Structure 1
């Protein structure tokens, strides 16, 4: 029996923030995969190694976690005042499914670097030394993001002394600015309220903040769920009943946010909305045994991604935390002590993160003009990925 040989597809394996994924130029993909559809999805599933019933991604580039099972497709932008179009695919580990409904804020930090290094930014716009401003069109959510990438001797500067909790080694700092993160997606608070009651049959009633900023997110009080907000991954991820509870709450929250019509549809929308729980500032030992002190943070936050507690914090969820944190009365704002503020410093399982946002209120409700955070990024490997020629 004859078998189709493997093909080579140019690709770059990159870390961005606390995530990593496989990056492609759109023009480098096989012709059939240059358009949305089953061919593209099947190709990327095979690249990552999904679906994998063993949950290991042994036969692919994925890392068998939500933060390492990611793909990115980039192309030069034809939009005015933008350099690159950025399309993100969150790959399910155990199902033949890619969720295209949201962005990855962490990998956003690597988009500017890839775009510069792969000729997607006009060289005339790049300094020999200094900071390059890369204007990104995030195609999943149709938003503008600005990445400020350090340059040295005409090349992207990846090494540096910027430390990011959740990442082992220091690197160069990349500032990422999410412009109008809610914008024309409708109200930043889809119910019109900064706090709602979320009723989940068989589980309970919860005070919740629903927000569309960065990524649709549901914020709950940790205490109402039986937690304190300092939990690390094993406490949540090794308890199937707890994970099932969170997924059920997420599904009912998605209906109340107007993202889906029925809770059954949540299975086909695993990437969004996110669900997070918060508590007041308190000291705890992070996953690295680093001591996080209560006087160094405003609150503690834990967030789930693709059904599991994240090891640090998703970049887009950090935008949601910033946006909710600066609006008086939200669950996040209350946990941080209430009142008006310009930035939030929160504790997550790997340490701390500081995020800023600018919010304003009008007759139409609350809006956030921008949210800003610092991440880092670097190339891990570049060349080609190989996949069976008939996998797509």
Structure 2
């Protein structure tokens, strides 16, 4: 009986924000996997442990949730005025595919640190103490991110006192800027509201007709009012994720919203595009208790937001969805803005299942459309393990 020995690939397991993923330098991947395509996808699926009909990813690095079934590939940037090219893959847990259609805002917080520590960033630019600015080209969505990475004694500072709800332990703060989140990636202003409206009526067979804000900022996102679909906005994960009928309704809303946004032509296509668009529901501020037992008072927040990722309610908030929330809140008249009380605002604090998060964005109306120059938020990141990841050689 023949067998295929395992191969090992240099890799780093990192937490970024409320997500975890396996980070690779492009140059370290096997030659056949350095280009996009089926070979690369097969390798990454095997690394993460997918597809797994048991839904546990026991035989891989995945953590059996959308927040932990992720991969990142980085290389020195060939693009002017950028330091590193960043490619993100959302790995399906139970199906054999990797979704390359969007970004992960949480793991974006770890990209700058990984670039510096792995030799993808010039050492001479790193101070003994201070902050390094890393300009990142997000290759999935063709947009620029700027990460401000703290440096202590010439190395990336990972520990510190910054607390992020949804992450148990404090760490060093990483400030992230998402430039022109509605730009098309080639310097042209894209439509932040692809339908041309701040609110659209959305008809979903079997669910109903209700208003929605469809926005493309950070990541394509569909916002609906919690009350319109039978919720309060204070729900925690189990209230949604333990209800198959509820998950089916959310997927139907997501699919029909994707059609209205021009992302797909038929609802059947949504199944192969699980990462985008996201769907979220909003409500005015109200008190609730988080998943960790922490109380959140009405006065602590401007609004409530719950969002789904890869078909399940997220335990906190996706970073890219936070960008969409910031952008939508900054535009008077969107559902997000109205849930927060309406009017002009350049920052908000919203409540999510694990706690609260403050995000900022400044919007302006120019050339007959709304524009956002950048969205800003803080995250943290740290290395959890580094070395080699091993997979059976026949995975290629």
TM-score by length of 2: 0.98
User: Structure 2 CA distance, aligned partners of 1:388 and 1:178?
Assistant: 38
| Residue 47 (structure 1) shift | 0.3
The question of whether the paired residues in 1 share the 8 Å contact of 2:16 and 2:380 is answered with: yes
Determine the structure 2 residue equivalent to 1:179.
Answer: 179
User: Structure 1 CA distance, aligned partners of 2:37 and 2:206?
Assistant: 38
| Residue 222 (structure 1) shift | 0.2
1:18-51 deviation line (CA, Å, top 9, x unaligned): 0000000000000000000000000000000000
| Residue 184 (structure 1) shift | 2.1
Determine the structure 2 residue equivalent to 1:282.
Answer: 286
**Corresponding position: 1:116 with 2:120:** no
What is the DSSP-based 3-state SS (H/G/I as helix, E as strand, rest coil) of the residue aligned with 1:57? Answer: coil
User: Structure 2 CA distance, aligned partners of 1:78 and 1:266?
Assistant: 33
User: Structure 2 CA distance, aligned partners of 1:330 and 1:245?
Assistant: 22
User: Structure 2 CA distance, aligned partners of 1:172 and 1:284?
Assistant: 28
What is the DSSP-based 3-state SS (H/G/I as helix, E as strand, rest coil) of the residue aligned with 1:115? Answer: helix
Q: Name which of 215, 224, 230 aligns with 2:228.
A: 224
Determine the structure 2 residue equivalent to 1:152.
Answer: 152
User: Structure 1 CA distance, aligned partners of 2:226 and 2:236?
Assistant: 13
What is the DSSP-based 3-state SS (H/G/I as helix, E as strand, rest coil) of the residue aligned with 1:320? Answer: helix
**Corresponding position: 1:264 with 2:274:** no
CA RMSD after TM alignment: 0.6
Q: Name which of 364, 370, 377 aligns with 2:374.
A: 370
**Corresponding position: 1:33 with 2:33:** yes
1:136-182 deviation line (CA, Å, top 9, x unaligned): 00000000000000000100000000000000000000000000011
Determine the structure 1 residue equivalent to 2:135.
Answer: 135
Determine the structure 1 residue equivalent to 2:170.
Answer: 170
| Residue 202 (structure 1) shift | 1.9
Q: Which runs of 5+ in 2 are unaligned?
A: none
Q: For residues 50-89 of structure 1, what are the structure 2 equivalents within 5 Å?
A: 50-89=50-89
| Residue 364 (structure 1) shift | 2.8
1:177-236 deviation line (CA, Å, top 9, x unaligned): 000011127310000000110001121001100000000000000001100000000000
What is the DSSP-based 3-state SS (H/G/I as helix, E as strand, rest coil) of the residue aligned with 1:184? Answer: coil
User: Structure 2 CA distance, aligned partners of 1:262 and 1:326?
Assistant: 31
User: Structure 2 CA distance, aligned partners of 1:152 and 1:198?
Assistant: 51
Determine the structure 2 residue equivalent to 1:307.
Answer: 311
Instruction: Could you list the structure 1 runs, at least 4 aligned residues long, displaced by more than 3 angstroms after superposition.
Output: none
Determine the structure 2 residue equivalent to 1:21.
Answer: 21
Determine the structure 1 residue equivalent to 2:7.
Answer: 7
User: Structure 2 CA distance, aligned partners of 1:17 and 1:202?
Assistant: 36
1:333-360 deviation line (CA, Å, top 9, x unaligned): 0000000001010000000000000111
User: Structure 2 CA distance, aligned partners of 1:26 and 1:107?
Assistant: 17
Q: For residues 310-329 of structure 1, what are the structure 2 equivalents within 5 Å?
A: 310-329=314-333
| Residue 122 (structure 1) shift | 1.4
Q: Which runs of 5+ in 1 are unaligned?
A: none
57-66 vs 115-124, greater mean Cα deviation: 115-124
Number of equivalences: 392
Determine the structure 2 residue equivalent to 1:241.
Answer: 245
What is the DSSP-based 3-state SS (H/G/I as helix, E as strand, rest coil) of the residue aligned with 2:394? Answer: coil
The question of whether the paired residues in 1 share the 8 Å contact of 2:142 and 2:184 is answered with: no
TM-score by length of 1: 0.99
What is the DSSP-based 3-state SS (H/G/I as helix, E as strand, rest coil) of the residue aligned with 2:271? Answer: helix
| Residue 78 (structure 1) shift | 1.1
User: Structure 2 CA distance, aligned partners of 1:114 and 1:123?
Assistant: 13
User: Structure 2 CA distance, aligned partners of 1:328 and 1:2?
Assistant: 65
**Corresponding position: 1:337 with 2:375:** no
| Residue 363 (structure 1) shift | 2.8
